[in-house]
Amino acid sequence: MSVVRLENVSLAFGAVEVFRDFSLDIAPREFVAVVGPSGCGKTTLLGLCSGFLKPTGGRVEVAGRVRTVYQEGGLFPWLTVAQNIALGLRHVRQESEREARLQEMLSLIRLEAFAGHYPHQLSGGMRQRVELARALAGDTDVLLLDEPFSSVDYLTRLRLRGELARMLAELPRTVVLVTHDIEEAAQLADRVVVLSERPAVIRRQLRVESPRPRDLTHPEVVAAVRATLAEMGLEREEVMSARG
Amino acid sequence: MNARTEERLRPAGARLLPLVTLAAALALWGALSALGVFPESAFPSPGAVARGFAEEVGKGRLANDLVASLFRVTAGFALAVALGLPAGLWLGHSARARAALLPAVNFFRSLSPLAWIPFAILWFGIGDLPAVFLIFMASFFPVVLAAAAGVASVPAVYYRVAGDYGFRGAELLTRVTLPAIAPQVITALRVTAGLAWLVVVAAEMIAGRDGLGFAIWDARNGLRMDLVVSGMIVIGLIGVALDRLLVRLMRIPSVRWGYER
């Protein structure tokens, strides 16, 4: 059984063919990272999963509640941290339950003290934690992440990866992460999907088995990074220990 | 002004500095008129102006003129916002409406509202209506443009997010578009209110029987330059007060983001 299923999907914008006969199955609670050259259709893939884009051919099936975390600036600047996260709980009928869940999310991202702050008063890393909390709040089934950490500095990015792993340990979800950052993919995902140039096909899939959170220098992570780079033509040698 | 400059000025008695300037200006004015540099008929002394002011207050004319002018500005400005905001929202959303109407809006915005005075009198006679009309003509187009520009520059990601979290229809307007353009619109309202206050004085000079603009014109016809100056001071002070009032809108917590980042 899969939560996200793309079956022989085709999509073209005018003369630009992004996907032709593209298929991908994602199992419940699986964390899939999609990497590939710029403009290959990674973000478009998320648009298809969220239903924002309709395929010109084939089928897209996504089960349950789907939420997207965008690159940056997806928080409403006129709402406080608490109000932004509460957007993710709009469907929760009972006021008291909504409030309780809001507090849970605030403590999960360790920003209880910032509940009344506005996004522009936070650092970039704090903002992304709020975005994650908003997307995870309520019973989200599928979390779509569109380069969620690309706008923060390297060290913050490393910390945010740890945060995300910790949050998913508490609230397991099916995750599709689209990223340029091959380290990020290898460090977080159960499966790394390497796409080709347009029209995108899956060039290779790598499984990373060790449990999260993983160190950046964990041998399996390093091996997956090397294998991915090699597949993209950016590394000369390939290490065979990463299973594909 | 950033927070640091404010901090540095405050302990040094920043509040006193404007009073020092005021005292210096009054002293210079008093000295010039005491020395008789200009004739009293063309350069009334501070004392004469103060007496004139007391006379206007005593007769109740000042209060009457003040209420008349404020009523006209409020009515014309409120009408311009009530009609201009929806019109601007529509222009911002519809590329076709923008293509059709933006040149016209720009034309009328660039046309001095005072150029409408002949028609204002022809159509509305003398009194409140021509002034309200002129204030409306001065305020409507800037409000339309500010709202339209605001809507056109709302980041697309806000609407994606709004869709993800189930905002539909009217909710999109009230909970996404309006808060997203609020800072820009408030800035425009502040500028426009200042403009409206400039216009009411001119309008009343020509098409009024009362109001602060008329009071100045009437005093000038009676060669009461002391009353002209007292009227000028009142007009300037009210203008500053109106601006202070609208600056308060910028302190609303949910619009601070528009001015701080």
List, for residues B219-240, the tens digit of each pLDDT value: 999 999 999 999 999 999 999 9
CA distances from A77 to A113, B19, B88, B147, B160 (A): 18, 39, 22, 18, 15
> pLDDT truncated to tens, each residue of chain A (244 aa)?
678 999 999 999 988 999 999 999 999 999 999 999 888 889 999 999 999 999 999 999 999 999 999 987 899 999 999 999 999 999 888 999 999 999 999 999 999 999 999 999 999 999 999 999 999 998 899 999 999 999 889 999 999 999 999 999 999 999 999 999 999 999 999 999 999 988 888 999 999 999 999 999 999 999 999 999 998 888 876 445 444 4
Check CB contact of A73 with chain B, cutoff 8 Å. Answer: yes
Q: Which residue of chain A comes nearest to B164, CA vs CA?
A: A67
Residues of A in contact with B155 (CB under 8 A): 73
- Put simply, the answer to whether A68 touches B160 (Cβ < 8 Å) is yes
Q: Which residues of chain A does B259 touch, with a Cβ-Cβ cutoff of 8 Å? A: none
* pLDDT at B2 exceeding the cut of 60: no
Kindly compute the dihedral angle of the four CA atoms of residues B40, B44, B46, B49, in this order, to the nearest 10 degrees.
Answer: 130
Q: Tell me what pLDDT residue A139 has.
A: 86
Of the candidates B48, B145, B128, B36, the one whose C-alpha atom is nearest the C-alpha of residue B87 is B145
Please check whether residue B160 touches A, CB under 8 A: yes
Nearest CB to B160; choose among A70, A90, A118: A70
Gap between the Cα atoms of B83 and B97, Å rounded: 16
Q: A71, A76, A80: best mutation site toward chain B, by most B Cβ within 10 Å?
A: A76
Cα–Cα distance for residue pair A187/B185, rounded to 1 Å: 45
Contact A120 B256 (CB under 8 A): yes
Q: Torsion over CA of A48, A52, A56 and A59, rounded to 10 degrees?
A: 50
Say if B253 is an interface residue toward chain A (CB within 8 Å): yes
Residues B21-39: tens digit of each pLDDT: 999 999 999 999 999 888 8
CB burial of B161-179 (b: ≥16 within 10 Å; e: otherwise) equals bbbbbebeeeeeeebbbbb
Contact A76 B158 (CB under 8 A): yes
Shortest CA distance from A67: residue in chain B:
B164
- CB distance A119–B257 less than 8 Å? yes
pLDDT in tens, A64-108: 999 999 987 899 999 999 999 999 999 888 999 999 999 999 999
- A88 at B interface, C-beta within 8 A: yes
Contact check, Cβ <8 Å, A76/B179: yes
> How many CB pairs below 8 Å do chains A and B form together?
47
- Alpha-carbon distance of A87 to A98, in angstroms, equals 10
Pairwise CA distance, residues B191 & B172, whole Å: 27
Q: How far apart are CA B55 and CA B215, in angstroms?
A: 13
Which of B165, B174, B177 is most worth mutating to test chain A (most A CB atoms within 10 A of its CB)? B165
Burial of B94 (0-12, 13-18, 19+ CB in 10 A): middle
Q: Do B160 and A119 touch (CB under 8 A)?
A: no
Helices B117-124 and B178-207: crossing angle in degrees, nearest 10, is 80
| Helix, strand, coil percentages, rounded to 5, for chain A | 35, 25, 40
* Optimal mutation site among A49, A78, A122, interface B, most CBs of chain B within 10 A: A78
- Residue B110 in contact with partner chain A when CB distance is under 8 A: no
